[in-house]
Amino acid sequence: MLIGVIADDFTGGSDIANTLAKGVAPEGGLRTAQFCGVPDSPAPDGLEAGVVSLKSRSCPVDEAVADSLKALDWLLAQGCEQIVFKYCSTFDSTDAGNIGPVAEALATALDQRGVAVCPAFPATGRTVYQGHLFVFDRLLSESGMQNHPLTPMTDPDLRRVLSRQTRASVGVVPFSTVAQGAQAIRAAMVDDFCILDAVSDADLLTLGAALEGRALVTGGSGIALGLPRNFIRAGQASGGQVPFTPVQGFEAILAGSCSGATRGQVEHHARNHPTLAIDVPAVMAGSVTAQTLVDFITNHAGHAPLAYSSGSPDEVAALQTRYGRAAVAAKLDGLFADTARQLVAQGVKRLVVAGGETSGAVAQAVSAALGVDAMQIGPEIDPGVPVLSLKGGVTLALKSGNFGSTDFFAKALALMEGTA
């Protein structure tokens, strides 16, 4: 492998895997696979990029660092020449971490400074200007992310945010420098960590050229946009696109995200498809179980059934106050994982999942049930969300909460079966 990615959650892993596999014209992308956690065996032959997806976004800092270093060791053993630490395009983290501590540990392990920090993903409205993160036309702190139940983002100044998480020096390479090109960017990357401005895909391609040969890069999936081109132009990778074989059969949708985008997608889907709103207090009491969800989904097979726990910020806050944040998250993750495991056993072929933590739980459960590590990257459904192909003809779509068009669920199922 040439590029190795350490992703701090599963939807983020799918997101950057999609970017690497798609690439840009005319070169195309890299042959890419996503892995659920650190594999115990070598990667399949022929891969040019590999994404190790962890659940390290909101776990204890020591655990996040240890898991990330373990992933680094495995990726280096596969021959990777460039490592990307991938985090969310809204820089989800608290003042205690985990982005800063993980990035610092990786930089130390690789003996790197002048490390890029760029969560920009213009295709989904995330841009960085003067070191500040925007979501469309709003500062991060006014975008709704200030209400995130696990990592409320109340400061849009990435230099300030990262400086609170690391002892290293943090600087900004402003847009005026980015506009001057790759050489100017490289010359300006003098701090330990460098926030890079980017407001368009053209900026990301310029950054990609500037980052050629860098052993460590950090950012959202957008930072990987120009990286495959470097290896393809150097003759180290073949480029082009990976073919995809559509899959027919049993389908299901599971949504655990509470983002505004996912709630809108649930509402849209419910107009024409069977939906089940999960009673969270009943889940906590044990009267709603995975079997409840499986029965609902199997009874509505063929009609794109959706089971969801998505709620408004006020509803989520009330549940967390009543039961405890960690207890609710663990219970729901377990519910969705058990549901997915049973659905695969009953022959589900197309499974769409919304929410980072939910996707991580489901991906681990499905991979274990099928006995696989690698998920091959297929076509893009919406920016940042590809189809993932597993053995046995099972396909997954793992959607970050804020991603996707209003009709994402139906669109994903149609693309999986080749009718989109």
CATH of the domain at 353: 3.40.980.20
Q: Is the peptide bond before 174 cis (omega within 30 degrees of 0)?
A: no
Residue 240 within a domain:
no
Q: What would the DSSP string read from start to end of 101-122?
A: HHHHHHHHHHT--SEEEE--BG
List the Cα angle 175/179/182 in 5-degree steps: 110
Q: How many domains does the chain have?
A: 2
In this structure, the answer to whether residues 199 and 75 fall within a common structural domain is: yes
**Looking at 169, 204, 233, which one is the last position of a domain?**
233
In this structure, the answer to whether residues 227 and 271 fall within a common structural domain is: no
Determine how many CB atoms are found less than 10 A away from the CB of residue 134.
19
Residue 244 within a domain:
no
In this structure, the answer to whether residues 278 and 195 fall within a common structural domain is: no
In this structure, the answer to whether residues 129 and 260 fall within a common structural domain is: no
pLDDT of amino acid 173? 98
What length does the chain have? 420
Both structure tokens of 382: 């919406």
Residue 132 within a domain:
yes
pLDDT of amino acid 110? 98
In this structure, the answer to whether residues 269 and 356 fall within a common structural domain is: yes
pLDDT of amino acid 291? 98
In this structure, the answer to whether residues 7 and 107 fall within a common structural domain is: yes
User: How many angstroms separate the CA atoms of 205 and 223, rounded?
Assistant: 8
Both structure tokens of 153: 């983002």
Note the helical H segments in 234-324.
Answer: 260-270, 280-285, 290-299, 313-323
Q: What would the DSSP string read from start to end of 48-74?
A: SEEEEE-S-SSS-HHHHHHHHHHHHHH
Q: Which domain holds residue 292?
A: 251-416
In this structure, the answer to whether residues 383 and 275 fall within a common structural domain is: yes
User: How many angstroms separate the CA atoms of 177 and 172, rounded?
Assistant: 10
User: How many angstroms separate the CA atoms of 383 and 22, rounded?
Assistant: 11
User: How many angstroms separate the CA atoms of 385 and 47, rounded?
Assistant: 20
Residue 157 within a domain:
yes
Instruction: Spell out the per-residue pLDDT of the chain, length 420, in tens.
Output: 999 999 998 888 988 999 999 999 999 999 999 999 999 999 999 999 999 999 899 889 999 999 999 999 999 999 999 999 999 999 999 888 899 999 999 999 999 999 999 999 998 899 999 999 999 999 999 988 888 777 888 899 999 999 999 999 999 999 999 999 999 999 999 999 999 999 999 999 999 999 999 999 999 999 999 999 999 999 999 998 777 899 999 999 999 988 889 999 999 999 999 999 999 999 999 999 999 999 999 999 999 999 999 888 788 889 989 999 889 989 999 999 999 999 999 999 999 999 888 988 999 999 999 988 899 999 999 988 999 999 889 999 999 888 899 999 999 999 999 997
- Whether 348 and 305 have beta carbons less than 8 Å apart is answered as no
Residue 7 within a domain:
yes
Residue 90 within a domain:
yes
Residue 383 within a domain:
yes
In this structure, the answer to whether residues 276 and 388 fall within a common structural domain is: yes
In this structure, the answer to whether residues 229 and 262 fall within a common structural domain is: no
pLDDT of amino acid 280? 93
- CATH code of 34's domain: 3.40.50.10840
- Whether 9 and 357 have beta carbons less than 8 Å apart is answered as yes
pLDDT of amino acid 296? 98
Q: What is the pTM of this model?
A: 0.86
In this structure, the answer to whether residues 147 and 266 fall within a common structural domain is: no
Residue 239 within a domain:
no
In this structure, the answer to whether residues 321 and 399 fall within a common structural domain is: yes
User: How many angstroms separate the CA atoms of 68 and 73, rounded?
Assistant: 9
In this structure, the answer to whether residues 197 and 62 fall within a common structural domain is: yes
